[in-house]
Chain A
């Protein structure tokens, strides 16, 4: 960035206003805020190192923010930063700034108001770390809005990542021990369960379908596996049988919904319902405790998924490694294999793909079969995690798999997206969930917030064209 260029684009990150007055003004403002934070920190009785560290970080961030704002104003030849009486500015210029950054300004103002309101009403909220978190979130907002224009193609993934970073920042400041190894391991473990369950949902969504049988297959494989083990079948054989049956259910889903693609949602819901019922009937026959299955989970399965599981001596549950491997295979496979390319071709334009000789039936059923297999894998892993069979173990996956796919940015109409996006969506959901648990919200509030979160996320990139432009 040379100072020779008269205009600095909004995307540039190293911003120093040309006018010395602005620099000094910004520095003064920054120092005042930092001093307030410094005083607050000591008043709170934190350790000196922490206060100093926070003060330094907040000073740097605030200085960068103010300079950024100043440069935007300066480059449009206002001569004064926003802090200095905007009333004297020419009306047209204000209007153009407003038009260019409408959403950003509204979002920042809303955040500021929210912060001030909470600050005024909750005395415990007046801490250095909260101030810092607030400033960081404002910085992330500016960054997201200014840089996302460079990512027109992968906008959803970019927004997802920004949200993820913002969530991690906020959580680590507000929740004690959020970045501890144990918590990260827990978040990743639950993310891997959800992520493995989402493999099939992503593939099916890429084809323009939906699979709502996943939670039922998870629950059914969960109790089915334990039942088979309880019958005396060798655990590895039982696992294999469960996976094959899961695949068979998926195949059935695919065959049944092939002619009813608009209603794949309802078909899979029906098969899932029937599957869960049938498996419960079968496992209840001859048992005095209907609906409950008892048995011993083999040690290797427990080690595979339990929180204290070890991979080759490392203190990481093998499920996380498994998820990473699966994610790499699926992402690479979708990108480079013929199978993956054909899925995108079919999702993008059914008719042209068929005319180039891609068998629609084959890929449709295959995607559903894979979905069934991975749902069964998740169910089996959850058995290892919990150590006891329970049909309702998959219930929360009914909508979280969908939500993860949608938040990641895979279009439910098919043809756009991929498993990489879903991974981001899964992480966002899990970190958000951990954050909500951390601040003491109950499960029902979490569900409420998840529900409200999906809409704006989809609205950011998943909007359909107006009917006027479709005619």
Chain B
């Protein structure tokens, strides 16, 4: 096509852009997101959706238009089974619960795969059949929401810390998929999804590959169900349909091709997070009684719009091939992180007293964003010697240099197939810094008792 290899990821540009916009809006509208408990609960709420989307992704890549509509009911099925067995004191230990959840997910998905392979019915019909059967049996197992999750899970759902076991599960799942993409099995999977006949004629054992994809999907669903159980700390047989709809939307939003062969864990993660943020942003606008309807309306609208956007992906790829999605992610990430830092720290610093404004502002800035003790302003040195005009000029020059640098980097990155190590380090450092600042803020708020001043940070 247009030559540069970087264009293969172009479909990620849309979710990244949306993510930046949504995250900024979310932080500005509801600043409580930027705090330990804010992030913690966000991770716990988003985790089941993320994992369900991964499960759908694994199946969608396998091709034949496999959209497992039963993913929500399956998740709910595992959830109510865990709760029910826990109530009967049969399965309580962590190991047993994990084995149970993953086992149910894998067995169901392998059955799914075997039916597709040997009965040769369209996957969508199998999914439909599973949807009906599972939603029915869920209500039989647990007629109404209730029950108690295993005791050791109780602390998981509190969401007062970022590094909860739920985050670990999500990270392990993500890392697992990333490692999986390095295997030749993954190459076969993508090939089968893209063109099953070609894969078959070139000697790929497609039945085996398909079963493998379903096993992965089953594992993801099982993990998702555990996160979901931790989130609601009880059993709920009724949320299956909603979970299916949102995870399918997240899948499409993340740029995974429903016709098979294209998709990535980054896209799915972004899609699921975007969907969570949409819900969050909508919740900050107080619509009162029609809140649920507005959310429903926007979910539907976004689903349709993101599907239409997938039509534009080739066009975008043709004209914007020189922008690497990952670099765009970093640049936008910096901006959003800046906004987050500003919002989260703005409240904790009272306006500096007049008089020593400039130096106070400078020290404020230093202290606020870099957490450095402000150096004592030395008499006439530093910024104060410059005239305002000079300051403006220097500032503009610095901005221009930074802008040029990032632009050059984006273009350069776009031409390489894989993201350099530098970027990974940079992103991790950025995220760590953000988390550190937020943690500091939260601790400061709780220990000193600034909560009246902060308002933003609980």
Interface assignment of B206: CB less than 8 Å from any CB of chain A:
yes
Chain B residues with Cβ below 8 Å from A263 are 252, 258-259, 307
Chain A residues with Cβ below 8 Å from B125 are 406, 412, 454-455, 458, 462
Shortest distance between the CB of B62 and any CB in chain A (Å): 13
Interface assignment of B23: CB less than 8 Å from any CB of chain A:
no
Interface assignment of A450: CB less than 8 Å from any CB of chain B:
yes
**What class of interface size applies to chain B in its complex with A?**
35 or more
Interface residues of A in 266-289 (CB under 8 A from B): 266-267, 269-278, 280-281, 284-285
In contact, A266 and B258 (Cβ under 8 angstroms): yes
Known: A260-B311, A450-B132. A462 touches B121 (CB 8 A): yes
Which A-chain residue is minimally distant from B200 (CB atoms)? A467
Q: Which of the segments B93-101, B171-179, B222-230, B297-305 contacts the partner chain? A: B297-305
Shortest distance between the CB of A220 and any CB in chain B (Å): 11
Chain A residues with Cβ below 8 Å from B121 are 455, 458-459, 462-464
Shortest distance between the CB of A249 and any CB in chain B (Å): 12
Chain A residues with Cβ below 8 Å from B128 are 399, 402-403, 406, 451, 454
Known: A262-B65, A270-B303, A412-B124. A277 touches B132 (CB 8 A): no
Complex formed: what's the CA distance from A97 to B129 in Å? 34
Chain A residues with Cβ below 8 Å from B218 are none
Complex formed: what's the CA distance from A73 to B200 in Å? 45
Chain B residues with Cβ below 8 Å from A455 are 115, 119, 121, 125-126, 129
Q: 1/0 contact trace for B8-52 toward A, CB 8 Å? A: 000000000000000000000000000000000000000000000
Interface assignment of A386: CB less than 8 Å from any CB of chain B:
no
In contact, A267 and B307 (Cβ under 8 angstroms): yes
Which A-chain residue is minimally distant from B291 (CB atoms)? A290
Known: A266-B252, A266-B307. A291 touches B124 (CB 8 A): no
Q: 1/0 contact trace for B129-154 toward A, CB 8 Å? A: 11111111111100100000000000
Interface assignment of B196: CB less than 8 Å from any CB of chain A:
yes
Shortest distance between the CB of B116 and any CB in chain A (Å): 9
Complex formed: what's the CA distance from A273 to B136 in Å? 22
Which A-chain residue is minimally distant from B125 (CB atoms)? A458
In contact, A270 and B304 (Cβ under 8 angstroms): yes
Contact of A270 among B119, B206, B259, B307 (CB under 8 A): B307
Chain A residues with Cβ below 8 Å from B196 are 467
Complex formed: what's the CA distance from A443 to B139 in Å? 9
Shortest distance between the CB of A55 and any CB in chain B (Å): 39
Shortest distance between the CB of A70 and any CB in chain B (Å): 35
Which A-chain residue is minimally distant from B73 (CB atoms)? A451
The B interface, classified by DSSP as helix, strand, loop or mixed, is: helix
Contact of A274 among B115, B290, B304, B308 (CB under 8 A): B304
Interface assignment of A21: CB less than 8 Å from any CB of chain B:
no
Known: A270-B249, A467-B197. A399 touches B290 (CB 8 A): no
In contact, A265 and B67 (Cβ under 8 angstroms): yes
In contact, A284 and B67 (Cβ under 8 angstroms): no
In contact, A270 and B300 (Cβ under 8 angstroms): yes
Chain B residues with Cβ below 8 Å from A275 are 300
Shortest distance between the CB of B245 and any CB in chain A (Å): 7
Complex formed: what's the CA distance from A260 to B124 in Å? 16
Interface residues of A in 435-471 (CB under 8 A from B): 442-452, 454-455, 458-459, 462-468, 470-471
Interface assignment of A244: CB less than 8 Å from any CB of chain B:
no
Interface assignment of B418: CB less than 8 Å from any CB of chain A:
no
Which A-chain residue is minimally distant from B258 (CB atoms)? A263
In contact, B137 and A448 (Cβ under 8 angstroms): yes
Complex formed: what's the CA distance from A146 to B218 in Å? 41
Shortest distance between the CB of A96 and any CB in chain B (Å): 26
Contact of B311 among A259, A447, A467 (CB under 8 A): A259
In contact, A269 and B129 (Cβ under 8 angstroms): no
Interface assignment of B385: CB less than 8 Å from any CB of chain A:
no
Chain A residues with Cβ below 8 Å from B119 are 455, 459, 463
Complex formed: what's the CA distance from A146 to B294 in Å? 57
Interface assignment of A256: CB less than 8 Å from any CB of chain B:
yes
Complex formed: what's the CA distance from A444 to B134 in Å? 9
Chain B residues with Cβ below 8 Å from A451 are 128-136
Complex formed: what's the CA distance from A59 to B249 in Å? 60
Chain B residues with Cβ below 8 Å from A271 are 300, 304
Known: A464-B120, A464-B121. A280 touches B296 (CB 8 A): yes
Shortest distance between the CB of B448 and any CB in chain A (Å): 43
Interface assignment of B201: CB less than 8 Å from any CB of chain A:
yes
Interface residues of B in 254-301 (CB under 8 A from A): 258-259, 288-290, 292-301
- Beyond contacts A266-B67, A277-B300, A412-B124: 14 other A-B pairs, Cβ-Cβ < 8 A, are A256-B304, A260-B311, A267-B303, A271-B300, A274-B303, A276-B300, A277-B293, A277-B296, A281-B293, A399-B131, A447-B132, A447-B136, A450-B136, A451-B134
Give me 18 A-to-B residue pairs in the complex whose CB atoms sit less than 8 angstroms apart, sorted by A's number.
A260-B307, A260-B308, A265-B67, A266-B248, A267-B307, A270-B301, A270-B303, A278-B293, A290-B290, A291-B293, A402-B128, A403-B132, A447-B136, A447-B139, A451-B133, A454-B125, A458-B125, A470-B197
Sort A-B residue pairs by CB-CB distance and give the 4 closest, nearest first: A277-B297, A273-B300, A274-B300, A451-B133
